[in-house]
């Protein structure tokens, strides 16, 4: 809990040495994890994160100091340490706080802290019972996690806001084995919801089936061939390709210093005409949504690319100064241990008009990626790498058989131009995205898309 | 803190927790970056986190906190009881009464804590200047960072054990972006130690610049099977991502294919893998593990034979062996698992030049990427984006990028032809010399 009096005193102390903007972020967060392995509930762990961070700007320089000691003395000490890193006369006084009520568009029905832990355990057991029906599945790792994050954000421009963010997620990993070889499959849904996640959105048994089927399918799959070929990537988690290969390069963190291959390209064509891409923080109860971002700014629905033309970057407060462009509600952080920076929220390629069956039928020989694994990218060059969790070989426009061990490599700018089909059914999937300001929940998404040619790294 | 810990252990006992342990981590850290002469991401913190672990009706419960008020004492105790009550882990677990003797490990250099912020900021300013001065093709220092930390770990339990360990360190990292004729390349260099060495600014800048300039004009090679050497950085990354296969916990849970294979040959004769928490100056050196067990050196693989997996108290008891002192928490609030400390391929006799001369034609892989996606620690399969250079007539030839190397780590261990003498710990506890891995499948043009 942060009072306006405390916030005012801390902000004044932070600006004492010439800083021109100060902010305090205080967090109190309860995390719960229940984890099941080898048919047993193995870990039940709760943790209370508690701390605050003070940020001061002087021009384009920024200083961040954080602590667990949220007493007035601890916070003033924090502010003094931040001020000590800046030198100059005391020019500014913090503005009076405006009474700003933060609207809550993400309604929570059952706070996780109010839900009985035994009910959470039942969800794990339901998924585990399904995994046991698959004889080749030798191991299941099932996790339930929830989090209630209370934040208070105040700054020297008169902002004083607080918010509650509630997240619940259910993760099933299945390992199938034939004794000499193991393959994995996963299903990892979540939402900005409480325990009501299980009312409609998530069915633990369905999750277990999905994870087990992928693992078993891949266990019987031969190795994927390698080389350049057309690739169809299915909807949902397939969107990780856009997230990694393009999304990170549209974050101000890499655009502002000119380290992105998309720096200075607003208004230019960077993708094929079929591509419209959106970063949306406003979708009710979606995994990557927000009431306010971690700088207290209001959320936006941001068109990144419209019919192939670059329209917007994702911009946080500090980079907004550097770029001379407005913030986009994209300032995010894992918690008080990180200064915020520009991050993705719910980021997806919008639905197009192409038929899913046609795009496979006309692709010739290539790879159909039903489910992507994770990936990474170097934003300065756009080089990316993804693993394919569940892939199928396509011969002459027909899906022939599953293949394992495939990865996709290339450059973000290249793949965007080579998207020659965009399907109609857009779906999103949940992930945790790691970057400068820590690990934050993000949705990736897309309809089924086709890339005319891409390097497939296989083991054959 | 002593008073808080005493209160917490008393409250735990009062509530029927038969044995309890408090695990406390404190950390002070400084971190800053510099780009175009401007300091950014300047971050300073002092944080503490504490966890309570305890046996309730024979089962282990866990809870953690960063708030140290009276409310948190009750909260921790009731959370531990709830956690233990719901737990179905029926393996025998224990709070460790302690060893008679603990090794001496010195991970703390007081001089480092006295280095001023200004000296650290000058270091990264200079690193950027030196980098840009190296060559006109250097476009930017895209990541130029220094970080120092100083902290402690303390374990206090209801048997009267009270262990603590101080640790500090300094890390700097610089990434060079180079551009020429529409080509770009980006390479980095890192410095890790417990002494602040201003001259490292120039050394790392030059190393990053040289690596990046060499990579300009890099191209994929034809797809095919190549003779290959992994340099210490690439092999260190591989060993890091697959180190979990040596965990007894993974083996006992059917998540490592090394289960039940202790005493068997799992690698070629030249392979020796050591876990050495007592390594002088090691990044992961320590006197006791995260359960309070005294640390010791373990030969995991000797001449290709798997001598032992790594164990904590729980997995050792299940297997009927002694803990290897490998209990590890991923953070103060994380459950106790198994992980190596300083874990490395014991070096051989030949340096990289000699290994290349022996190979004649092939590839040296200097970097593998996409590890969290392209490497499957359960199956051992990997398919990783990679870069490096070709070797022609036994010497370094042309730069290579945008290829993938694919194979299986278990197979790779058996195929290793030689282990080099150039042991490097690239920024953590995992270390490797250059390793000749025989043949590897490459996907490129």
Mean pLDDT, rounded, for B187-192 = 94
Mean pLDDT, rounded, for B129-141 = 96
Residues in a beta bridge with B50: B24, B65
User: For residue B375, what is the nearest residue in chain A, using CA coordinates?
Assistant: A387
- Whether residue B381 contacts residue B403, with contact meaning beta carbons closer than 8 Å, is answered with no
Q: Does A66 touch chain B (CB under 8 A)?
A: yes
Mean pLDDT, rounded, for A160-166 = 96
Across the interface, do B257 and A182 touch by the CB < 8 Å criterion? Answer: yes
pLDDT value, residue A99: 67
The CATH number assigned to the domain holding B177 equals 3.30.2290.10
User: Which of A:130-159 have CB within 8 Å of B?
Assistant: 138-139
Q: How large is the greatest C-alpha to C-alpha distance in chain B, in angstroms? A: 74
pLDDT tens-digit readout, A255-304: 998 878 899 999 999 999 999 999 999 999 999 999 999 999 999 999 99
Residue B228 maps to a domain: yes
Residues in a beta bridge with A401: A393
Residues B225 and B200 reside in one and the same domain: no
Residue B303 maps to a domain: no
Residue B358 maps to a domain: yes
User: How far B90 CA lies from chain A's nearest CA (Å)?
Assistant: 9
Residues B90 and B9 reside in one and the same domain: yes
User: How far A109 CA lies from chain B's nearest CA (Å)?
Assistant: 23
Residues B106 and B209 reside in one and the same domain: yes
Q: Which of A87-96, B68-77, B340-349 has the highest mean pLDDT?
A: B340-349
Residues B235 and B184 reside in one and the same domain: no
* HSE value, Cβ hemisphere, 13 Å, CA-based, for B257: 21
Residues B157 and B229 reside in one and the same domain: no
Residue B244 maps to a domain: no
Residue B298 maps to a domain: no
Across the interface, do A257 and B75 touch by the CB < 8 Å criterion? Answer: no
Burial classification of residue A347, based on how many CB atoms lie within 10 Å of its CB (0-12 exposed, 13-18 middle, 19 or more buried): buried
Q: Using an 8 Å CB-CB cutoff, list chain A residues near B49.
A: 68
Burial classification of residue A114, based on how many CB atoms lie within 10 Å of its CB (0-12 exposed, 13-18 middle, 19 or more buried): exposed
User: How far A57 CA lies from chain B's nearest CA (Å)?
Assistant: 10
pLDDT tens-digit readout, B170-186: 999 999 999 998 888 99
The b/e string for A80-97 (b: 16+ C-beta within 10 A; e otherwise) is bbbbebbeeeeebebeeb
Mean pLDDT taken over chain B? 95
Residue B167 maps to a domain: yes
The residues, ordered by sequence, that sit 6+ positions from B360 with a Cβ below 8 Å of its Cβ are B227, B391, B393, B394
pLDDT tens-digit readout, B220-258: 999 999 999 999 999 999 999 999 999 999 999 888 999
Residues B180 and B54 reside in one and the same domain: yes
Residues B173 and B198 reside in one and the same domain: yes
Residues B139 and B168 reside in one and the same domain: yes
Structural domain range at position B377:
217-239+347-443
Residue A142 has pLDDT above 70, yes or no: yes
* HSE value, Cβ hemisphere, 13 Å, CA-based, for A341: 24
User: How far B282 CA lies from chain A's nearest CA (Å)?
Assistant: 26
The b/e string for A407-425 (b: 16+ C-beta within 10 A; e otherwise) is bbbbbbbbbbbbbbbbbee
Residues B235 and B111 reside in one and the same domain: no
Q: ∠ CA A255-A259-A260 to the nearest 5 degrees?
A: 60
- Interface probe with B: pick from A45, A80, A149, most Cβ of B within 10 Å: A45
ipTM reported for the complex, 2 dp? 0.84
- Interface probe with A: pick from B1, B4, B88, most Cβ of A within 10 Å: B88
Residues B56 and B129 reside in one and the same domain: yes
Residues B143 and B20 reside in one and the same domain: yes
Residue B418 has pLDDT above 90, yes or no: yes
Task: Identify the sign of the CA torsion A325, A327, A332, A337.
Answer: positive
Task: Identify the sign of the CA torsion B381, B387, B391, B396.
Answer: negative
Q: Where in chain A is the domain with CATH 3.30.2290.10?
A: 112-149+164-219
Across the interface, do B47 and A65 touch by the CB < 8 Å criterion? Answer: no
pLDDT value, residue A457: 86
Query: How many domains does the structure of chain B reveal?
Result: 2
How far separated are the first and last CA of chain A, in Å rounded?
58
Residue B337 maps to a domain: no
Which residue, among A442, A413, A417, has the nearest Cα to A428 in the 3D structure?
A442
Mean pLDDT, rounded, for B122-151 = 96
A112-149+164-219 has CATH 3.20.20.370 classification: no
How far separated are the first and last CA of chain B, in Å rounded?
61
- Cα(B282)–Cα(B275) distance, integer angstroms: 11
Across the interface, do A455 and B38 touch by the CB < 8 Å criterion? Answer: no
- Whether residue B425 contacts residue B344, with contact meaning beta carbons closer than 8 Å, is answered with yes
Of the candidates B86, B90, B257, which has its C-beta nearest A117's C-beta?
Answer: B86
Strand residue runs (E) in B232-294: 273-275
Across the interface, do B142 and A257 touch by the CB < 8 Å criterion? Answer: yes
Q: Using an 8 Å CB-CB cutoff, list chain A residues near B217.
A: none
Burial classification of residue A323, based on how many CB atoms lie within 10 Å of its CB (0-12 exposed, 13-18 middle, 19 or more buried): middle
pLDDT tens-digit readout, A293-332: 999 999 999 999 999 999 999 999 999 999 999 999 999 9
The residue among B179, B196, B213 that closes a domain is: B213
Q: Using an 8 Å CB-CB cutoff, list chain A residues near B334.
A: 45
- Whether residue A187 contacts residue A172, with contact meaning beta carbons closer than 8 Å, is answered with yes
The residues, ordered by sequence, that sit 6+ positions from A200 with a Cβ below 8 Å of its Cβ are none
Residues B394 and B439 reside in one and the same domain: yes
Which residue, among A156, A227, A187, has the nearest Cα to A10 in the 3D structure?
A156
The residues, ordered by sequence, that sit 6+ positions from A163 with a Cβ below 8 Å of its Cβ are A102, A104, A150, A151, A153, A291, A292
Task: Identify the sign of the CA torsion B216, B222, B224, B226.
Answer: negative
Of the candidates A117, A180, A226, which has its C-beta nearest B82's C-beta?
Answer: A117
Residue B393 maps to a domain: yes
The residues, ordered by sequence, that sit 6+ positions from B163 with a Cβ below 8 Å of its Cβ are B98, B102, B154, B155, B156, B287, B288, B292
DSSP readout, B67-113?
A: --SHHHHHHHHHHHHHHHHH----S--------S---------HHHH
């Amino acid at each position: 809990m942060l009072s306006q009096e405390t916030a005012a005193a801390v902000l004044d102390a932070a600006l004492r040495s010439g800083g021109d903007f100060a902010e305090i972020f205080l967090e109190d967060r309860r995390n719960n994890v229940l984890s099941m392995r080898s048919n047993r509930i193995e870990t039940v762990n709760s943790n209370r994160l508690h701390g605050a961070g003070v940020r001061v700007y002087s021009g384009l320089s920024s200083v961040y100091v954080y602590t667990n000691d949220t007493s007035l003395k601890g916070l003033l000490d924090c502010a003094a340490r931040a001020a000590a890193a800046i030198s100059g006369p005391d020019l500014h006084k913090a503005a009076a706080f405006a009474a700003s009520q933060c609207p809550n568009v993400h309604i929570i029905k059952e706070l996780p802290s109010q839900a009985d832990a035994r009910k959470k355990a039942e969800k794990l057991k339901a998924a585990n019972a399904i995994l046991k029906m698959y004889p080749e599945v030798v191991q299941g790792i099932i996790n339930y996690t929830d989090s209630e994050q209370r934040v208070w954000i105040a700054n020297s421009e008169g902002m004083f806001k607080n918010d509650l963010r509630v997240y619940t997620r259910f993760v099933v990993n299945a390992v199938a084995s034939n004794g000499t070889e193991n393959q994995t499959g996963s299903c990892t849904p979540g939402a900005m919801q409480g325990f009501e996640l299980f009312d409609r959105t998530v069915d633990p048994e369905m999750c277990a089936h999905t994870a087990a089927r992928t693992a078993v399918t891949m266990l019987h799959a031969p190795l994927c061939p390698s080389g350049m070929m057309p690739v169809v990537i299915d909807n949902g988690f397939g969107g990780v390709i856009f997230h990694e290969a393009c999304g990170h390069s549209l974050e101000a963190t890499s655009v502002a210093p000119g380290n992105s291959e998309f720096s200075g390209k607003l208004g230019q064509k960077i993708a094929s005409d079929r591509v419209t891409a959106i970063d949306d923080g406003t979708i009710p109860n979606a995994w990557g949504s927000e009431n306010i971002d971690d700088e207290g700014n209001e959320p936006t629905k941001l068109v990144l690319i419209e019919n192939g033309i670059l329209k917007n970057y994702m911009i946080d407060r500090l980079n907004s100064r550097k770029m001379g462009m407005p913030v986009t509600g994209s300032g995010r952080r894992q918690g008080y241990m990180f200064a915020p920076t520009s991050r993705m929220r719910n980021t997806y390629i919008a639905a197009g008009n192409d038929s899913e069956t046609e795009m496979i039928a006309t692709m010739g020989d290539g790879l159909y990626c039903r489910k992507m694994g994770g990936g990474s990218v170097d934003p300065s060059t756009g080089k990316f790498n993804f693993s394919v969790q569940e892939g199928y070989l396509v011969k002459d426009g027909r899906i022939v058989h599953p293949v394992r061990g495939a990865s996709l490599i290339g450059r973000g700018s290249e793949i965007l131009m080579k998207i020659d089909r965009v399907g109609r059914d857009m779906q999103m999937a949940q992930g945790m995205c790691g970057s400068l300001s820590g690990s934050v929940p993000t949705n990736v998404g897309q309809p089924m898309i086709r890339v005319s040619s891409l390097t497939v790294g296989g083991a054959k | 803190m002593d008073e808080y810990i005493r209160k917490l252990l008393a409250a735990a006992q009062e509530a029927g927790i038969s044995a309890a342990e408090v695990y406390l981590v404190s950390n002070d850290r400084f971190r800053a970056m510099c780009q175009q002469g401007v300091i950014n991401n300047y971050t300073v913190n002092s944080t503490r986190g504490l966890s309570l672990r305890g046996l309730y009706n024979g089962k282990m419960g866990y809870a953690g906190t960063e708030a140290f008020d009276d409310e948190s004492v009750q909260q921790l105790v009731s959370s531990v009881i709830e956690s233990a009550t719901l737990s179905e882990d029926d393996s025998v677990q224990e709070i460790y009464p302690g060893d008679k003797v603990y090794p001496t490990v010195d991970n703390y250099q007081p001089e480092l804590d006295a280095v001023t912020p200004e000296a650290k900021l000058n270091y990264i300013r200079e690193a950027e200047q030196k980098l840009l001065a190296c060559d006109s093709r250097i476009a930017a220092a895209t990541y130029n960072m220094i970080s120092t930390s100083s902290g402690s770990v303390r374990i206090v339990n209801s048997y009267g054990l009270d262990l603590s360990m101080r640790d500090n360190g300094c890390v700097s990292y610089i990434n060079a972006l180079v551009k020429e004729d529409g080509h770009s390349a980006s390479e980095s260099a890192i410095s890790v130690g417990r002494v602040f060495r201003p001259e490292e600014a120039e050394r790392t800048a030059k190393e990053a610049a040289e690596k990046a300039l060499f990579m300009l004009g890099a191209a994929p090679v034809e797809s095919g099977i190549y003779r290959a050497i992994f340099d210490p950085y690439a092999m260190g990354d591989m060993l890091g991502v697959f180190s979990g296969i040596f965990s007894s916990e993974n083996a006992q849970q059917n998540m490592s294919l090394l289960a039940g294979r202790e005493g068997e040959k799992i690698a070629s004769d030249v392979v020796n893998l050591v876990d050495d928490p007592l390594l002088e100056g090691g990044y992961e050196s320590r006197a006791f593990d995260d359960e309070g067990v005294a640390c010791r050196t373990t030969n995991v693989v000797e001449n290709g034979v798997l001598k032992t997996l790594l164990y904590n108290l729980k997995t050792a008891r299940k297997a009927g062996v002694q803990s290897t002192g490998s209990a590890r928490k991923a953070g103060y609030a994380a459950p106790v698992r198994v992980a190596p400390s300083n874990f490395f391929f014991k070096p051989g006799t030949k340096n990289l030049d000699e290994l290349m001369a022996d190979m004649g034609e092939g590839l040296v892989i200097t970097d593998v990427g996409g590890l969290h996606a392209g490497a499957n620690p359960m199956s051992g399969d990997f398919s990783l984006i990679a870069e490096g250079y070709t070797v022609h007539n036994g010497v370094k030839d042309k730069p290579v990028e945008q290829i993938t190397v694919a194979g299986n780590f278990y197979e790779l261990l058996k195929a290793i032809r030689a282990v080099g003498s150039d042991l490097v710990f690239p920024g953590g506890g995992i270390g490797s010399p250059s390793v000749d891995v025989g043949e590897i499948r490459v996907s490129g043009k």
